Amino acid sequence: MEARLLVLGLTGSIGMGKSTAADMFRRLNVPVHDSDATVLKLLKTDKKINEEIRRRFPSVIEREVINRQKLGNMVFSDSQAREELEKIIHPVVRLSARRFLRFHSLRSESLVVLDIPLLYETNGEVNVDAVLVMTAPEFIRTRRVLSRSGMSIEKFKGIVDSQISDKEKCRRANYVIETGLGKAYTFRRLTRLVKHLRLVSRRM
């Protein structure tokens, strides 16, 4: 029986190990569409988006270039600014994801991953077959995030406040994987999940 493309939404609050999980999916030969990477590419190459950001957020422009750190600090401390930025960027990211899905469907893939940090916040769960949430104990998450360059407690709090809680994400997810027990454990769990989902895709 030919497998149908199964779309897994990958998400998790900041510091929960989502990016590490995405890299592990790639090691397991599962195509991954990275929403954050798409946004960074758009900020560098899409003239229309750059012009719109320059018009709406002139204070983040330095030497004719968008200061991404300033932009990030602004949108995570100002919900209205965040909504304005999302209106500019999200439609183009969704278009990129649709093209990704079309490409891999034509290649007869059985499983792909959409890596979407704000999946629940943007109602992205309606566009996937199942959701995987990565989680970790709060002390591990805090240590991971505060070790990042340019991160402060205030910025961390702003990001957390802008996201649905980890508890709620885990409650709504189809699958939950703990990342606080070491990368080897996480990789084993993901390997088993990939095998399971590929079997599911054959039955769909």
- Which residue matches tokens 């407690």? 153
Q: Where are the beta strands (DSSP E) in the chain?
A: 6-11, 32-34, 61-62, 65-66, 111-115, 130-135, 175-178
Domain housing 101: 6-203
Q: Is 116 among the domain residues?
A: yes
In whole angstroms, how far apart are CA 203 and each of 4, 178, 196? 8, 28, 11
Specify if 82 maps to a domain. Answer: yes
The band of 128, judged by pLDDT with boundaries at 50, 70 and 90, is: very high
Q: Indicate the number of domains in the chain.
A: 1
| Percent over 90 (pLDDT), the chain | 51
pLDDT tens sequence across 8-63: 999 999 999 999 999 999 999 999 999 988 888 888 888 888 888 888 888 878 77
pLDDT(124) > 80: yes
Closest to 21 measured CA to CA, from 105, 114, 94: 114
Q: What value does the mean pLDDT of the chain take? A: 89
Question: What is the residue type of 31?
Answer: P
In a domain, 131, yes or no: yes
CA distance 101 to 185: 29
- Average pLDDT value for residue range 87-104: 91
> Which domain CATH number covers 116?
3.40.50.300
Whether residue 100 lies inside any domain: the answer is yes
Q: Give per-residue pLDDT as tens, 29-41.
A: 999 999 988 888 8
Residue 2, pLDDT > 60, answer no
What is the number of alpha carbons within 13 Å of residue 40 lying toward its C-beta? 5
The reply to whether 59 falls in a domain is yes
Domain contains 123 = yes
Report how far apart, in Å, the C-alpha atoms of 197 and of each of 8, 21, 28, 47 are. Answer: 9, 16, 13, 39
Query: Within a domain: residue 1?
Result: no
